[in-house]
């Protein structure tokens, strides 16, 4: 099941993507109306998931329950979660090769850190698939990209045991952690350089966890203007999804709709010599196996 938020006839609509078609979530005969995808994540029942599964199994334009796909010409993909319930929870340096390429710029030790580096990313404006990032190079002309697997929490929990952590996952999506590297260096921590308006893209969909085998081993790739910059597999994450959820929830409550960005592999712009930062006109495509492709242009 691929959950999306689209703009249809000028209004945001929580929906389901089935192949090339998008269905309005509230046309499927669920237990109650859902105003947003976050509302669904927090309040849906197991029977709602069963209804969706049964009605969309054939993938046709008209599903068995009589609902009709939204007209594709009037659909614009938004971020699946347009207003996160909290700042995005981010994991820094969660791939060994990214640690190594970051050593010069960030002066990090090349060995695997004993403890994870956590930080938050303000997400007042979240870009969706096809949205443009507006670059203000008078503020910072060192705009970088980072493709990441993002975990969307599906139920509230605290002090979650790693063996039960995956039960708290609703699904997975793609996140591009755009970063202002000059600002990031100036302030000695990552929050401000990661939190400018529009410096995060999410989507195109949230794929339900039932679609994945665990532990995850998903190919992950980022291209700039067709040139492959990042290419790896989530199998190489130092700390996996269950471990991250268990550690983050220790003494801190996670709630439905919370987003955890699990870190980026090697190949970021700052890791090249000379650095290869983004410029106006660049098209960035993030792809994760089993989820799809998230595309954004720099203007």
Query: What is the token pair recorded at 73?
Result: 């010409």
227's CB contacts (< 8 A; 6+ apart) are: none
The pTM assigned to this predicted structure is 0.93
Q: How far is CA 229 from CA 3, 84, 144, in A?
A: 28, 28, 11
Alpha helix (H) ranges present in the chain?
37-43, 46-55, 96-106, 181-187, 191-194, 241-248
Hey, which bits of the chain come out as E strands? 2-8, 11-18, 21-24, 75-78, 88-92, 117-121, 132-133, 143-144, 147-153, 169-176, 179-180, 201-208, 219-224, 227-233, 259-261, 283-288, 292-298
Tens-binned pLDDT, residue by residue, of the chain (299 aa): 999 999 988 889 999 998 888 999 999 999 999 999 999 999 999 999 999 988 877 555 556 556 788 877 778 999 999 999 999 999 988 987 767 776 655 555 556 667 788 999 999 999 999 999 999 989 999 999 999 999 999 999 999 999 999 999 999 999 999 999 999 888 878 899 999 999 999 999 999 999 999 999 999 999 999 999 999 999 999 999 999 999 999 999 999 999 999 999 999 999 999 999 999 999 999 999 999 999 999 99
Pairwise CA distance, residues 239 & 262, whole Å: 8
Q: Which of 26, 11, 3 has the alpha carbon at shortest distance from 76?
A: 11
Pairwise CA distance, residues 179 & 140, whole Å: 10
Tell me the pairing of strands 259-261 and 88-92.
Answer: parallel
């Amino acid at each position: 099941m691929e959950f999306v938020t689209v703009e249809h006839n000028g209004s945001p609509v929580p929906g389901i993507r089935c192949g090339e078609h998008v269905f309005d979530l509230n046309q499927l005969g669920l237990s109650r109306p859902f105003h947003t995808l976050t509302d669904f994540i927090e309040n849906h029942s197991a029977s709602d998931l069963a209804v969706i599964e049964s009605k969309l199994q054939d993938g046709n334009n008209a599903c068995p329950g009589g609902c009709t796909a939204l007209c594709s010409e009037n659909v614009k993909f938004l971020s699946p979660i347009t207003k996160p319930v909290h700042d995005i929870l981010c994991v820094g340096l969660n791939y060994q090769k990214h640690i190594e390429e970051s050593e010069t710029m960030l002066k990090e030790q090349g060995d695997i850190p004993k403890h994870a580096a956590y930080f938050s990313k303000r997400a007042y404006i979240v870009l969706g698939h096809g949205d443009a990032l507006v670059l203000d190079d008078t503020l910072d002309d060192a705009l970088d990209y980072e493709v990441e697997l993002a975990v969307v929490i599906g139920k509230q929990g605290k002090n979650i045991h790693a063996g039960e952590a995956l039960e708290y996952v609703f699904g997975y999506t793609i996140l591009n952690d755009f970063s202002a590297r000059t600002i990031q260096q100036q302030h000695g921590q990552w929050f401000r350089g990661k939190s400018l308006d529009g410096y995060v893209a999410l989507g195109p969909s949230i794929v339900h966890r039932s679609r994945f085998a665990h532990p995850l081993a998903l190919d992950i790739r980022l291209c700039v203007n067709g040139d492959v910059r990042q290419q790896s597999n989530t199998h190489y994450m130092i700390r996996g999804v269950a471990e991250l959820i268990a550690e983050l929830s220790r003494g801190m409550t996670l709630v439905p709709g919370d987003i955890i960005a699990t870190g980026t592999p090697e190949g970021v712009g700052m890791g090249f010599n000379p650095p290869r930062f983004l410029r106006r006109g660049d098209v960035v495509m993030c792809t994760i196996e089993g989820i799809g492709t998230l595309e954004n242009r720099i203007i």
